Chains A and B, each alone.
Chain A
Amino acid sequence: MTLHMRRPFKLPPIDPFLLALIATVAFASVVPARGGAVHWFELATDFAIALLFFLHGAKLSREAILDGIGNWRLHVMVLASTYVLFPLIGLVLTGLEAGWANPQFASGLLFLALLPSTVQSSIAFTAMAGGNVAAAVCSASLSNLLGIVATPLLLALFSHVGGGGGAAPSLAAVQTIVVQLLLPFVAGHLLRPWIGGFVTRHKAILQPVDRSSILLVVYTAFSAAVVGGIWQRIDLADMAVLLANCAVILALVMGANVAMARLAGLPREDAIVLLFCGSKKSLVSGVPMAGALFPAAQVGQVVLPLMVFHQLQLFVCAVIAGRYAQALAQEGDETPQPPPGIPQGADAAIAAAAGHGMAIPPECLPGVVENLALLERQAAVLREADGGEA
């Protein structure tokens, strides 16, 4: 008898954050916030959203945005995928399904199609697949920045067409975006020289703050939805159709991105950036935005497609990135990287320190920058003595 080795069967890993989201939805379904508590939860939610964007403003390095800007053709393609291709597919799908049983899911699908790309997972998948990480940082950051303004505007433009019903944001909603999202973001970013270090240093504390603020938004949203009778309006068939819709959107976008990269003759590293940054939709930006743009009672149903899509994209992209990494290893393609340079300037120093999980205290920053400049001078002397190559 021959024994055959069987590949051990493994369940695909589930994002623990998604499990927390599901638990929050379940909790809100059983114990929703009611009566006087609603006001306080809404206040807390507003504060959490503002805090979230404030922290993102403090976290995002100006250099990360500026550094990769040179690769404009790639960024235009990524932005086109996020803000043109996605909305077109969303519009067509919701148009085709005009007799949708649950119009708020249609609203949610359209909303999802208009959202910016994710930052962290886009970059992580790009790195895993051996793509152009610097360009991914830039593309994803640009997409997120642009999304603060572009998503509400596009939603205002398209929701009339897409049959989103009461989801159209008024000028007041855009104002809310500015006050609740943009201002805290800019404030955070302007305070970055002082608090950027703290934010990075206390990543372990801030990450739960970041995530729990999203959970708070979800809880308030679902409470409102439950009180408004969401579970009476959703059935298994709705969920199945939702999942199918998300799969179709993802497949169409990814297919189009691969074709677009080939047509444009993008190098492999940039094609990977387009594939991952161009096909993502951000749950982190999307949930608070929905909280700001849609009436509380609708938010729960509007973000449901986003939650389904989010987990689907993580699964699919993880599999694809794994394939890329495997192919890269098989090719033995170890393109020698030029030795990375010594970080120069405050932003580069902060970014390099963050790469080591370290935050440079503001009072040390000038001295560190000065010492890095001194080290760079020594490195130049060494290069000259050592034959001059970079």
Chain B
Amino acid sequence: MSAAALAQDIRAGRASAVAVTEACLARLEADRHVAITRILGQRARAEAATVDAEIAAGGDPGPLAGVPYVVKDLFDVAGLPTTAGAGLLATAGPAAADAQAVARLRKAGAVLVGTANMDEFAYGFATVNATHGTTRNPHDPARLAGGSSGGSAAAVAAGLVPFSLGSDTNGSIRVPASLCGLFGLKPTHGSLPMAGTFPLAESFDDIGPFATSAADTALVWQVLAGAELPSPAPTAFRVGRLGGRFRQNADAEQLAAIDAIAGEGPLVDLPGIAGARAAAFLITAFEGGALHRDRLRENALGFDPATRDRLIAGSLLPEALHARALRFRQRFRDEVLAAIAGFDVLLAPATPCVAPTIADPRIRIDGEMRPARADLGIHTQPVSFLGLPSLAVPLKRPRRLPLGVQLIGWPGGEPMLFAFAAELEKRGLIGCETGVMA
């Protein structure tokens, strides 16, 4: 059931928040996808009871009344340590307050039921975690869910919760959304509240929702952003397809779907995309390494084997290289904004392929087998580099593994992306496969 419909039922008294929460907690307990790291039964029941009490008193708890959700393990939850998926931080002091995003959802009536698995310190596209295990893709448990917000994605794709929150530095929402067949939003950089979240690379870090429809994604975005969607919604879209590097290392059917969606939309070739991806990679490595340098100095072996080598390497990058990559970004951004001036929405693959298997977590890039953990974000990373909003949407691919497409907009152009996604849903080109409970 969608978040919006569930909230409507609860607000109308057709369902109780407490009953919905209990059913949800039971699903979390029974889950076999290694999606959840902590089930917050006591807190969830209290929040649900508050929602029901408010409705009983004739009040309105908000647009997400009684809707259960989970957050990636890097959002502050009052009274719990914020672990960022790290065993190292399991005994850290408890957060004094909820992250700002969690507080806004609570005010809108949503019920936090758990925290979700992730790559340690959000550094990876795989959700392979030494402390909690590898999150499994609900469409095929032998495959990766993607990362680093893989637990948040798997929780929604497995039908545990109607929506969830993740974070996206280089594609950590859009990659798992693509592999798990969901809608996942990376907002305009810096537009959603980051207070109370554990950072990876502040030049690119953002938070955003996973959901099963354009409408639900838009609903959660409105709550988080404190914004309203324009009415009426836009109906005409100037659509372009990103060419060049975005047409390489992509699935043929995915490209065909992009062409079908774009119709007459021209190919826009952005020169220097490989440089943008490289610069984003280097900036992330430098900022992530610098962030963790003190911890690495004290206890490198306490880190997850999957992330520590990358973080140590990043911490050894020279500052001059970081400065150069940032200068390149500024120039590249100016050039790209000039090149895409005539478009409302640009289309690009979200991941280069469907979910790789857990047994062999590699993907083919430029003819070579490369680690999925580092390279699944090949098409999302350049978009983060520009700070543009990007909504990953699931292509309609009945009986096949999910694969997503990015709808990329102008800074602040999220409403345009939601409207375009709703239009594609209506045309049957995109949408979540229902009944995934593998």
A residues whose Cβ falls under 8 Å from a Cβ of B:
201, 339-343, 349, 352-353, 356-361, 363-364, 367-368, 370-372, 374-375, 378-379, 381-382, 384-386
In the bound assembly, the distance between CA atoms of A353 and B313 in angstroms comes to 9
Q: Does B32 contact A (CB under 8 A)?
A: no
Query: How many pairs of A and B residues are in contact by the CB < 8 Å rule?
Result: 98
Q: Give the chain A neighbours of B282 by CB distance below 8 A.
A: 375, 378-379, 382
Q: Does B424 contact A (CB under 8 A)?
A: no
B297 A371 Cβ-Cβ under 8 A:
no
Q: Give the chain B neighbours of A381 by CB distance below 8 A.
A: 274-275, 277-278
Q: How many residues on B have C-beta within 8 angstroms of the other chain's C-beta atoms?
A: 32
Q: Distance in Å from the Cβ of A239 to the closest Cβ of chain B? A: 45
Q: Give the chain A neighbours of B275 by CB distance below 8 A.
A: 381-382, 384-386
Q: Distance in Å from the Cβ of B324 to the closest Cβ of chain A? A: 7
A382 B310 Cβ-Cβ under 8 A:
no
B316 A340 Cβ-Cβ under 8 A:
no
B312 A353 Cβ-Cβ under 8 A:
yes
In the bound assembly, the distance between CA atoms of A363 and B276 in angstroms comes to 32
**What are 23 of the A-B contact pairs (CB < 8 Å)?**
A339-B320, A339-B321, A341-B318, A342-B316, A342-B317, A342-B321, A352-B316, A356-B297, A360-B312, A361-B300, A361-B301, A364-B301, A364-B309, A368-B309, A371-B313, A375-B285, A378-B277, A378-B281, A381-B275, A382-B325, A384-B275, A385-B328, A386-B324
Q: Distance in Å from the Cβ of A337 to the closest Cβ of chain B? A: 8
In the bound assembly, the distance between CA atoms of A144 and B282 in angstroms comes to 38
Q: Give the chain A neighbours of B374 by CB distance below 8 A.
A: 374
Q: Give the chain B neighbours of A374 by CB distance below 8 A.
A: 313, 374
Interface centre among A340, A370, A375 (most CB of B within 10 A): A375
Q: Distance in Å from the Cβ of A386 to the closest Cβ of chain B? A: 5
Q: Give the chain B neighbours of A379 by CB distance below 8 A.
A: 278, 282, 321
- Given contacts A379-B282, A382-B282, is CB(A358)–CB(B315) below 8 Å? yes
Could you say which of A363, A368, A371 contacts B301, with CB atoms under 8 Å apart? A363
A382 B279 Cβ-Cβ under 8 A:
yes
B residues whose Cβ falls under 8 Å from a Cβ of A:
272, 274-279, 281-282, 285, 293, 296-297, 300-301, 305, 308-310, 312-318, 320-321, 324-325, 328, 374
In the bound assembly, the distance between CA atoms of A76 and B328 in angstroms comes to 44
A340 B312 Cβ-Cβ under 8 A:
no
Chain A, residue nearest B303 (CB): A364
Q: Distance in Å from the Cβ of B165 to the closest Cβ of chain A? A: 29
- Known A-B contacts: A353-B315, A364-B300. Give 13 more (CB < 8 A): A342-B321, A356-B315, A359-B297, A361-B301, A375-B281, A381-B278, A382-B278, A382-B279, A382-B282, A382-B324, A382-B325, A385-B272, A385-B278
- Given contacts A375-B281, A379-B278, is CB(A349)–CB(B316) below 8 Å? yes
Q: Give the chain B neighbours of A342 by CB distance below 8 A.
A: 316-318, 321
Q: Give the chain B neighbours of A367 by CB distance below 8 A.
A: 305, 308-310, 313
In the bound assembly, the distance between CA atoms of A386 and B281 in angstroms comes to 15
Could you say which of A341, A357, A375, A385 contacts B313, with CB atoms under 8 Å apart? A375
In the bound assembly, the distance between CA atoms of A382 and B282 in angstroms comes to 9
A358 B312 Cβ-Cβ under 8 A:
yes
In the bound assembly, the distance between CA atoms of A356 and B374 in angstroms comes to 25
B318 A358 Cβ-Cβ under 8 A:
no
In the bound assembly, the distance between CA atoms of A363 and B285 in angstroms comes to 20
In the bound assembly, the distance between CA atoms of A360 and B293 in angstroms comes to 12
Q: Give the chain A neighbours of B277 by CB distance below 8 A.
A: 378, 381
Q: Give the chain A neighbours of B325 by CB distance below 8 A.
A: 382
Chain A, residue nearest B375 (CB): A374
A372 B313 Cβ-Cβ under 8 A:
yes
In the bound assembly, the distance between CA atoms of A381 and B313 in angstroms comes to 18
Q: Give the chain A neighbours of B318 by CB distance below 8 A.
A: 339-342
Which A-B residue pairs are the 5 nearest by beta carbons?
A: A385-B275, A367-B309, A339-B320, A371-B313, A381-B278
- Given contacts A360-B300, A364-B300, A379-B282, is CB(A372)–CB(B316) below 8 Å? yes
Q: Give the chain A neighbours of B281 by CB distance below 8 A.
A: 375, 378
- Given contacts A364-B308, A374-B374, A385-B328, is CB(A356)–CB(B279) below 8 Å? no
Chain A, residue nearest B328 (CB): A386
